[in-house]
Amino acid sequence: MKYLAILLFMIATKATVAQTLYFESVFSEVTKTTYNYSPDQNESLQLDFYTAGADREKMPLMVYVHGGGFSNGVRDDEGTVRFATELAQRGYAVASVSYRLTMKGIGFGCDVESSKKLAAIDSASYDVSLAIKYILDNIDEFGIDQNKIIVAGSSAGAETVLNMAFVYDNEILPSDFKYAGVIGMAGAINTLQKIDEDRAVPTQLFHGTGDRKVPYNIAPHHYCNGEDKGFWMLYGSKPIAARLKGLGESYYFTTIYGGGHSWAGASMTEGFNEIIDFLYHDVINPKSIRQTDRTINKL
């Protein structure tokens, strides 16, 4: 009877772990390994790869892209390391990616031509796509599930991943490749027209209504005037969510009333539980189409 009780306890414990993997913190030790993913050996483009649990295969992969106006920012700042570590403890593989900072010394404001802004976003999209290709080309080493790759980003990183998912004509990744999900934290895109049934994927969006850099709704980037060189209309999280709603796709949209652009970073902490909820229920273990609208009042 004693051994039977022990056996039943072990089975119950194993079942509990299986049920909570990807939702609750299961692992304690996280390993980080840095890779140079650039095909050009004269250029250093790196990614930090986080995993937990030895010899695991078919892990869902979160590819995270940092912000910084395409002129600064790093893949391994304190907030990113904490975010990646907490995701890895729940069973996700995480790749935090560096990309070329093409606007360094130039800026990203109203005095910068809109064509250069778009080129910067496309450049970052190209680099992050190269990182994903590198992982796919070495999929046995990385142990990830190629059908469960999610891209996430903050600010400029959000503009990059939303562009990758919904706008960018990607010739780097396989023709049948499709993201399992996308998370944009204070991001926007320059057109909604390419979001159709083929490109729509489960999407999570965080955005403050008081964001004066990246518009929450439809407005010029940085709210530039019409005569400014940098005048460029963008579609923020609200119209993106509306587009996905009309297409019948899963989305999880958090509006922060009165919130500013700082929510590009704050979403990784104050919205972390929502991120886990989205990943688990809309990407990893979807039972149905969910269309979630949530509000936080910071007025």
Region 122-150: mean pLDDT is 97
For 21, the token pair is 């993997």
pTM above the 0.85 mark?
yes
> Do strands 46-52 and 30-36 pair parallel, antiparallel, or not at all (unpaired)?
antiparallel
pLDDT band with cut points at 50, 70 and 90 for residue 42: low
pLDDT at 97 over 60: yes
Inter-residue contact 161 to 203 (CB < 8 Å): no
Report the candidate in 246, 155, 48 with the shortest Cα–Cα distance to residue 163. Answer: 155
The 10s digit of each residue's pLDDT in 159-179 is 999 999 999 999 999 999 999
Of 35-49, 77-91, 94-108, 159-173, give the lowest mean pLDDT range.
35-49
pLDDT at 4 over 60: no
pLDDT at 212 over 70: yes
Contacts with 245 (C-beta within 8 Å, 6 or more apart), sequence order? 251, 291
pLDDT band with cut points at 50, 70 and 90 for residue 56: confident
The 10s digit of each residue's pLDDT in 243-297 is 999 999 999 999 999 999 999 999 999 999 999 999 999 999 999 999 999 999 9
For 241, the token pair is 């969510």
The 10s digit of each residue's pLDDT in 222-245 is 999 999 999 999 999 999 999 999
Alpha carbon of 43 to those of 63, 118, 171, 228, 298: distances in Å? 20, 22, 21, 34, 43
> Which domains are present in the chain?
2-297 (3.40.50.1820)
3-state SS track over the chain? CHHHHHHHHHHHHHHHHHHHCCCCCCCCCEEEEEEECCCCCCCCCEEEEEEECCCCCCEEEEEEECCCCCCCCCCCCHHHHHHHHHHHHCCCEEEEECCCCCCCCCCCCCCCCHHHHHHHHHHHHHHHHHHHHHHHHCHHHHCEEEEEEEEEEECHHHHHHHHHHHCCCCCCCCCCCCCCEEEEECCCECCCCCCCCCCCCCEEEEEECCCCCCCCCEEEHHHCCCCCCCCCEEECHHHHHHHHHHHCCCEEEEEEECCCCCHHHHHHHHCHHHHHHHHHHHHHCCCCCCEEEEEEECC
Report the candidate in 251, 256, 37 with the shortest Cα–Cα distance to residue 130. Answer: 37
